[in-house]
Amino acid sequence: MHWIRGEELGRGGFAFVSKGVIQQEDSSCLVVAVKSSKSSECKSLVKEKKLLDRFNNCPFIIRCFGDETSQEDGQELYNIFLEYASGGCLAGEINKSSNAGKGLPEPLVKKHTRSILVALSHMHAMGYVHCDIKPHNILIVKEAGVEDTAKLADLGSALNMRGRGGEDEDDDDGGFRGTVLYAAPESISNQTYVPQSDVWSLGCTVLSMLTGNNSPWKFDKSCMNAVDVMMKIGCSDQIPEMPRKLISKEAMDFLKKCFVKDPTSRCTAHMLLDHPFIKAAPLAGRCSSSRRRHHHHHHHHLASRLFHGISSLVPTCFHLHHSAAVS
């Protein structure tokens, strides 16, 4: 593989992302995001690459084009090559709308929500929970002649639900994974992760899109530290506040079905695909066992802004990834 590393786009605790260009066999160039870590600290990236390969037949999960090691500045790096999202992450779109004093237009929220529901349904059907759904992990892909597409990214916290004995056997150490402000109550209170946990987190993401607030929760002076915040989300009977006068009845009902405290009574992603709020939303494609060949994607501009700052209401330590995932 002949490729060139370009400008750095972001950096976390164990990995960094750069813009890159791959020269293909037909002499065309593919713009990618190169996610890299030291080879000695690459366990999370190796896992992410395997999972992206496993989910590569879903058009709403960011695509991986391969991996390679390189020697740079006297150290060995492990690199995975991802779609480059020239539209950045969904959190950036939300920030722009917030600066304008509003949320995203509801038709756009419906479209993005439907795309992520398809991605989650696909992951859940294959036995995985994403565990860290939030605007920062949803990337906006811009492609010539095609509407912007939201794609699910950053699988470093994903959990295999299908028991022990598989290649992900050492995945579950029983600790917290994800981001507290978007986490389901059961994930905070007893580190339980089920498909419906992703649905709660999706509800938080949808609420952020509708309101323009990157934090789905509002805190008063009684929540002055991390423990208070975690108790409110994980142990109280409260749910995120929904602006009834600002959103449609369908959006309100959709959120209510996401914000059910008992995960066994919460809707699944597959069920929500039939909800009136998003049922009529446009969809760029559907999961299929066949994808366009690699060279058909040379004009894609995909993933980059995989790192973020969390709300100033809560310390940055509230973003926790399992193992060596980027934080």
Measured torsion, CA atoms of residues 105, 106, 108, 113, in degrees rounded to the nearest 10: 140
CA distance linking residue 272 with residue 95, whole number of Å: 26
- Distance between CA 206 and CA 248 in Å, rounded? 13
Residue with tokens 């058009």: 59
Report the C-alpha gap between 167 and 198 in whole angstroms: 22
Nearest 5°: the CA angle 228, 204, 170 is 80
**Tokens read off for 231:** 């108790």
Neighbours of 92 (CB within 10 A): 18
Residue 61 bridge partners (DSSP): 152
- φ, ψ of residue 167 to 5 degrees: the values are -70, -15
53 carries an active-site annotation: no
What whole-number distance in Å separates Cα of residue 124 and Cα of residue 268?
9
H/E element, 143? strand 138-143
User: Which value, to the nearest 10 degrees, does the dihedral of the CA atoms of residues 131, 133, 134, 137 take?
Assistant: 100
Buried b (16+ CB within 10 A) or exposed e, 256-265: ebbbbeebee
- Identify which of 160, 130, 159, 162 has the alpha carbon closest to the alpha carbon of residue 61: 130
Which of 67, 132, 154, 198 is the catalytic position?
Answer: 132
φ, ψ of residue 24 in degrees (nearest 5): -90, 170
249-258 and 195-211 helices, crossing angle to 10° = 150
Exposure of 325 by Cβ count < 10 A (0-12 exposed, 13-18 middle, 19+ buried)?
buried
Active site residues: 132
